[in-house]
Every structure is written in structure tokens, then in C-alpha cells.
Amino acid sequence: MNSLDTHILENWYQINYESQLQGRRILFDDIEPLIKKLSNKFKKEILGYSENNIPIYKISIGTGSIKILSWSQMHGNESTGTKALFDLFNFFENSGDLESIKDQILKQCMLQFIVLLNPDGAIKFTRENANNIDLNRDAVDRKAIESNLLRNTLEIFNPKFCFNLHDQRTIFNVAGTKNPATLSFLAPSEDLERTITNGRIETMSVIVAMNNFLQQFIPNQIGRYTDEFYPTATGDNFQKLGHNTILIEAGHFKGDYSREITRKYNFYALLNGLYFIATANDFKNFKPYFKIPNNDKMFLDIIYKNLKIPKNNSQITTDVGIQYKFKIENDELIMYKSIEKEGDLSEYFTFNMINGEKLNYYDLKLSNS
Ligand SMILES: [Zn+2]
């Protein structure tokens, strides 16, 4: 197999990524014109409608026998995967010097994509759908329309592999390092015992390939998400049903709060994963999966060292750890500071350590809302 050349890929990306999609909040109105613009290489169909009646599209391409289903933004506020999918669509439209890579993927695989599964949550910038249902905990009950659309697609298409695209919070670092987990992968468990089934072995082997490729770009910034079994989670259930489900969590990269750098690596992971599936002789090389460090939870957006804060009618000096949060105000996404930790934070990591000795606590609070 030809390898996916990193320099050619970097050059391709700079020119061809989908620049119409930017930032954290990606809505149906943002992707609709791009879907309409896709050439007739793609099959586009409305799969159904969200609880608030917004269309949910399925995009299909490829003529091969290995079926792969991907979906993005089942959590409405986790848009990085959606941006990466449109980068991937641009790749299928015009792959430039990487044409042989594209041809092998589309010759060997049949691809279906559900882009923006939770458009109502995207508007509110929440994980949940319009009825406050977390679609990723609704795989058994299937109370949400969107969960049924996904499940029906799974059952009709019967994919061998799935890509389940999520975002994770900045707080996750790669265990044993001071680095944020820019990407994390998971081969979900099928049971409480986390049995290494044949299906999970195949899922892990794809993750091993993606991790090897991505380490060239973001060394030691890739983590492994906990494989604790969640009986109602989508990935766990799909994997149990025999559809090997690769979960990708897009996380933080230094300074990249709009997740535009992470989005690129998310696309690289997808492209490499598809290419590996299209060309692999087998899916048995799973052991290096366990060498990927676990996610840890030691990263903060800001640490104020030695800040004087009020406590019981007096003042104490301590460290304050900030996590940025997001909310919608006047239909705009606002990023704001929220206190995540107080106390001795010398064990925690950040790219933004601020000496708090001369700062006024109440001035910080002002920027809090
Ligand atoms: Zn998620």
C-alpha cells in the first residue's frame, strides 16, 4: 500500500480544508449550503427531522464492500467532528496529489455519514437534544427521534466499522505528561468485564494505526478514553451488536479554543483510519492500543497562583483554577471563566499560569459572567 505522505497531506489541507466552517458553534444553517454544493459523486438524502423539525442529512459515497458509518455532533455542542467531516468531503471532491489514497478508500469502502445528528442541541449549545435527552445515553431506550434515526441507519446499512465523533473538555491531559489530550480514542467495552472480544480487537487495531500516524504530528498529545462499560451508551451498544465502533474525542491544542487545529488532526485521524481499513490485510494488531496513555484530568485553562480570596469573613491565599465554559447570549456563543478548582494546584497543568499576588479577586469575578 502507498503510504499517506505527511507533507503532501499538510499542503493539501492548507489549501482545501472547508474554510466556511469555523469556530465551536456549528449549526444546520452553516452546513446546509455546503451539503447542497456537494457534487453528484455524493448521494445526499434527508434521513429525517430533529425534535424541532430541522433536517438531518445522510451523505453517502464509495462503491466498495467494507461498510463504514460515521456520525458527528450527537452532542450538539461538540462540533469538531462535523468540521472534520466536511474537510473529508472536500478530500473526496478534490484529493490533488493524494488521488490514489482517495481511490483506494472509495473502491474498497462504502461510506455513510450522518452529519450533525443533534441540530437542536447545536442551537442551544448543549449536549442534549431539544427534550434534554443525551443521545449518547439513549441507545437502549431510544426516546429521542435522533437516536432512532441513527439506530435505523445502523440496522439497514449494517456497517463493519463506525466512527462516533465527539469533543472532550480541555481538562483532559495525557496521563504522565503535561500535555492536553488533543485527541483521544476509545474502543468501547461490550460488558462490565471489558472483555477483549474479537470485535474490540478489530476496533483497537484501527485505533493503533490512527495513533501511529497522528503521533507524527502531535507526539504525546493522544490519550485513551476510559473503557468503563456504559450500558446505555451508543458506542458500547453498537460494538456489542457487532459493529466495530471507534470513538474519537477531539480535545484541546495550545491556544486553540475554536478547535481549528484539533479539527485538522481529527480529519487526519479519520482519513488515516479509513485508509487503513481500506488497505489492511487484517485487523489483529491491537496490543499497542494499551500502550496509548490514558486520559487524565489535570489540565486547567488558567491557574492563578497565590490569589487572595475571601473566606469566612477573612482572606486566604490560595491557587484558583479556571475552566472556560460556554453559553448562548443573544444567539451568540460566549466563552466565560468558571472556577473549577481551589487550593494547592501545584499538581495541575496549564498553558496560562498567572501570578495572582497583585490581582484583586473581585476583578477576576467581574470577568466571570
Ligand atoms: Zn460527546
List the pLDDT tens digit at each of the 369 positions of the chain: 458 999 999 999 999 999 999 999 999 999 999 999 999 999 999 999 999 999 999 999 999 999 999 999 999 999 999 999 999 999 999 999 999 999 999 999 999 999 999 999 999 999 999 999 999 999 999 999 999 999 999 999 999 999 999 999 999 999 999 999 999 999 999 999 999 999 999 999 999 999 999 999 999 999 999 999 999 999 999 999 999 999 999 999 999 999 999 999 999 999 999 999 999 999 999 999 999 999 999 999 999 999 998 888 898 999 999 999 999 999 999 999 999 999 999 999 999 999 999 888 877 764 544
In whole angstroms, what separates CA 227 from the centre of its chain? Answer: 16
Question: How many angstroms is it from 208 CA to the middle of ligand 1?
Answer: 21
Question: How many angstroms is it from 217 CA to the middle of ligand 1?
Answer: 24
Pairing assessment for the beta strands 183-186 and 302-311 based on DSSP bridges: unpaired
Question: How many angstroms is it from 273 CA to the middle of ligand 1?
Answer: 20
Handedness of CA 124, 130, 135, 138 (dihedral sign): positive
Do residues 292 and 185 lie in contact, with contact meaning Cβ atoms separated by under 8 Å?
yes
List, as one string, the DSSP characters of 23-90: SS---HHHHHHHHHHS-TTSEEEEEEE-TT--EEEEEEE--SSEEEEEEE-SSTT--HHHHHHHHHHH
Question: How many angstroms is it from 168 CA to the middle of ligand 1?
Answer: 7
Give the residue among 299, 298, 316 at the shortest CA–CA distance from 307.
316
Question: How many angstroms is it from 367 CA to the middle of ligand 1?
Answer: 27
Question: How many angstroms is it from 76 CA to the middle of ligand 1?
Answer: 8
State the cell numbers at 341.
Answer: 478548582
**Which residues, at least 6 apart from 352, have a Cβ–Cβ distance to it below 8 Å?**
301, 302, 303
Question: How many angstroms is it from 220 CA to the middle of ligand 1?
Answer: 22
User: What whole-number distance in Å separates Cα of residue 121 and Cα of residue 240?
Assistant: 27
Instruction: Tell me the whole-structure pTM to 2 decimals.
Output: 0.96
User: What whole-number distance in Å separates Cα of residue 85 and Cα of residue 72?
Assistant: 8
Instruction: Return the residue matching grid coordinates 489541507.
Output: 13
Question: How many angstroms is it from 154 CA to the middle of ligand 1?
Answer: 19
Question: How many angstroms is it from 79 CA to the middle of ligand 1?
Answer: 9
Give the residue among 75, 248, 292, 262 at the shortest CA–CA distance from 182.
262
Query: Helices 99-108 and 260-279 sit at what angle, rounded to 10 degrees?
Result: 60
Question: How many angstroms is it from 344 CA to the middle of ligand 1?
Answer: 30
Question: How many angstroms is it from 167 CA to the middle of ligand 1?
Answer: 5
Question: How many angstroms is it from 192 CA to the middle of ligand 1?
Answer: 21
User: What whole-number distance in Å separates Cα of residue 292 and Cα of residue 269?
Assistant: 15
In whole angstroms, what separates CA 361 from the centre of its chain? Answer: 35
Question: How many angstroms is it from 252 CA to the middle of ligand 1?
Answer: 14
User: What whole-number distance in Å separates Cα of residue 274 and Cα of residue 282?
Assistant: 14
Exposed, middle or buried by CB within 10 Å (0-12, 13-18, 19+), for 312? exposed
State the cell numbers at 335.
Answer: 466563552
Do residues 195 and 236 lie in contact, with contact meaning Cβ atoms separated by under 8 Å?
no
Question: How many angstroms is it from 136 CA to the middle of ligand 1?
Answer: 7
**Which residues, at least 6 apart from 235, have a Cβ–Cβ distance to it below 8 Å?**
136, 162, 164, 186, 188, 245, 247
User: What whole-number distance in Å separates Cα of residue 82 and Cα of residue 335?
Assistant: 20
Give the residue among 231, 168, 249, 223 at the shortest CA–CA distance from 194.
231
Question: How many angstroms is it from 250 CA to the middle of ligand 1?
Answer: 9
Question: How many angstroms is it from 100 CA to the middle of ligand 1?
Answer: 33
Question: How many angstroms is it from 361 CA to the middle of ligand 1?
Answer: 33
Question: How many angstroms is it from 134 CA to the middle of ligand 1?
Answer: 9
Residue 123 is predicted with a pLDDT of: 98
Question: How many angstroms is it from 221 CA to the middle of ligand 1?
Answer: 19
Question: How many angstroms is it from 25 CA to the middle of ligand 1?
Answer: 14
**Which stretches within the chain are classed as H helix?**
6-16, 28-37, 80-93, 99-108, 119-124, 145-157, 198-214, 234-240, 260-279, 361-366
